[in-house]
Amino acid sequence: MPRLRLRVLLWTLTACVCSALPLDVPGLVYPHGDFVIRNLCKFCDLEDSTCDGADKCTSECKKTAICAAVDEVCVTIWRKNDSNVTMETLCHSPAVPLYGFMLDDYNNTECRMKEKKVLGSLFYLCSCSSEEECNNVIYFTEEKPTLSIPMVTAISLLPPLVIAVMVILAFYRYRVIRQKKLNEEWKKKKKRKHDCSDGCAIMTDDDQSDISSTVANNINHNLELLPIELDLQVGKGRFASVYKAKLKQSTAEQFETVAVKIFSYEEYASWKNEKDIFSDINLKHENILHFLTAEERKVDKQYWIITAYHALGNLQEYLTHHILSWDDLCYLGGSFARALAHLHSDHTPCGRPKVPIVHRDIKSSNILVKNDLTCCLCDFGLALRLDLSLSVDDLANSGQVGTARYMAPEVLESRINLENIESFKQSDVYSLALVLWEITSRCSAIGDVKDYVPPFGSKVGEHPCVESMKDSVVRDRGRPEIPNSWQKHEGLQLICSTITESWDHDPEARLTAQCVAERFSEIDQMDKLSQRSCSEEKISEDCSVSDDK
């Protein structure tokens, strides 16, 4: 065995050289300083073995050799035939086939056996490279795949990632379904008629559905002010001016039309009062101006109230330029009465408790006309919340407020009963009666319709003061004229009696706003019945004609 002898000689020689070197790893130092590591392998050539070829064995070889050539790797071959089991350990160059096989696993640091096909015997071969006799321990099992750090990270992150994606998808789906449901509900609501019989207020105005819900019925606490571009001035009151404006949407060209009521810094009290009144979520009603938000515009030293915009303007302007049909009168009058009844009420149409509010400046210019010819009440700058915490002093300090032309006799005389909060409501009802008179005076159902004149007309001047109104209303007990010619039909008669009962000199004798609203419902019922009987008459006439035939 000349090859074996040469190898052992080499191993002995190298071992001597190595022991003379200050290095404890096998290798050679070349004159130019490069250090080349060679493999240290078990090297017994062929030996009998007790290894059973299952799982893992050690070579039982006592000889270790530093491979002669730099490229040589450690190899172990395990063979089993009918008579014996052998183990062969050696160094070998992977560039050269060994027993007809290329060493394809020599880069491994462990020697893992692979079965090689040889007729008549089991033949297993493994190769490896390391400085630590890697062919001494041999494995017959597959190496468990080791996972790289990025792989481990990816695998461990996978479950939370999947859960997060599922949660996001579920949330997205929920939002989409909810939005769809809201849209459908909205469409259904829009289809419903103005019907109070179910006791729940329904918002039916198109303008109000579009308005950004993010700011609805709230104060804009954001530091960022709403992106609003003012347009035309559409109104001017004692404390503020009203502008049509564009509320810009997320995309540059899109906007919603809103109304902006601008108060100067001096009118803070009026702005605060209106904002506080609007902030009560229970005030929300289809016939009360839809509030979006209130803002302090520090740069311009202004306070803003942002609401829905109604293109038809206020009722006074509308009556000046339009003659109403009987249906228009019923719509406008009924919706206005419902607005005031809701304002005064201590519960919402759905039965939630609500603080009653009095307006104290009811007049036709404080009522807006919506596109469906129903009213919506606005301008709550003088409104008062009748909560239980209000003391008699608070009420007394609230003073004589409102517009003289529309002031009830007890307000003109400053003789309002402060002990009874109902008295404030009764004063509002007096003003309501004047507005109903204005509406009726412009309805074609009364016959000859004159030009629009405000209640008490020009008799009291354009802007009457309290004193001249006192003369007319308290001293002379004067009221706007209701000519007999107005009482053309049952419905008109009921409206006229509702007006006179609501402007009674005695506040206690006046109808409540709720009662006025119910009167309009009765009129509505009467109209429906008469329409039905008309159509029934028509059908029976038609039938009788056909019967005759």
Binding residues vs ligand ADE (CB under 6 A):
234-235, 242, 259, 289, 307-310, 313-314, 368, 378
CB of 186 to ligand ADE, least distance (A): 21
Dihedral, CA of residue 531, residue 534, residue 535 and residue 539, to nearest 10: 170
How would you write 322-344 as a 3-class SS string? CCECHHHHHHHHHHHHHHHHHHH
d(CA 457, CA 440): 15
For 261, other C-beta atoms within 10 Å of its C-beta total 24
Question: Which of the residues are catalytic?
Answer: 361
Least distance CB 310 / ligand ADE (angstroms) = 4
Report, in Å, the least distance between residue 378 CB and ligand ADE: 5
Can you read off the two tokens belonging to residue 303?
């306070």
Number of residue whose CB is nearest ligand ADE: 259
* Shorter beta-carbon distance to ligand ADE: residue 383 or 416: 383
Instruction: Specify the residue, 314 or 431, whose C-beta has the smaller distance to ligand ADE.
Output: 314
Task: Please tell me the distance from the alpha carbon of residue 486 to that of residue 37, in angstroms, as a whole number.
Answer: 120
| Nearer CB in complex with ligand ADE: 87/368 | 368
User: In whole angstroms, what is the distance from residue 110 CA to residue 96 CA?
Assistant: 20
Tokens, residue 74: 């450690």
* The total number of residues written for the chain in this structure: 549
Q: Report, in Å, the least distance between residue 379 CB and ligand ADE.
A: 7
Q: Which residue number, 286 or 518, has a Cβ lying nearer to ligand ADE?
A: 286
Maximum separation of any 2 CA atoms in the chain, in Å? 147
> Under 8 Å CB-to-CB from 202, ≥6 apart: which residues?
189, 192, 194, 195, 286
Residues 6+ apart with CB under 8 A from 234: 242, 243, 244, 259, 313
The whole-angstrom separation of Cα 296 and Cα 304 is: 6
- DSSP symbol at 112: E
**If phi over 0 gives left and psi between -120 and 50 gives alpha, with beta otherwise, what is residue 87?**
beta
Q: How far is the CB of 244 from ligand ADE (least distance, A)?
A: 7
How far apart are CB 397 and ligand ADE at their closest, in Å?
28
